[in-house]
Amino acid sequence: MTKIILDASKNCAKAAKEEMKKAEGRVSFTMDLWSDPVLDSYMAIMAHYVIRDNNHQLEYRSDLIVFRYIEGSHMGVNLANHFLIILEEMDLLYKVSRNNFQLLGNIFFFLNPKIGVITMDNASNNNTLMGELESLLESRNILFDRDGNHIRSAYFIIL
């Protein structure tokens, strides 16, 4: 059953990657992690974004982009590295824009971060994840704020 779910997730991710190229603004995420009965860890990430349909009307999209086995612990540093890999795989680190430019090497690029907010539960490892993700993205000259880009899910807080 796990293989079927993982394979279906890959197919969803391929389709979503193409759709997200048309995103009008930033792409936001909801993310959760859990362990199965034998303590294998899994990560699921949904992407949320807006595109224009064929009639140029705004259309909200929400797609499963990742459901995968996560090697290693649920420690925030490990999770941040996995999340960054996923952003790279989905081409979500930069969005071409006329509003901002950066010098990369000897070439100017017009770039904006495509990363919106990330909604997660209130686990302390998610605070570490956001801090490490901020550092990783900063090292690539991508603006990201561990607090400003983090939404704590009220559902998990209330429980």
Of the two residues 42 and 109, the one the predictor is more confident about is 42
pLDDT digits (tens, 9 = 90+) for 68-112: 888 877 788 999 999 999 999 998 887 654 455 555 555 544 455
Q: Are 111 and 97 in contact (CB under 8 A)?
A: yes
pLDDT digits (tens, 9 = 90+) for 124-136: 889 999 999 999 9
| Alpha carbon distance, N-terminus to C-terminus of the chain | 29
pTM (2 d.p.): 0.81
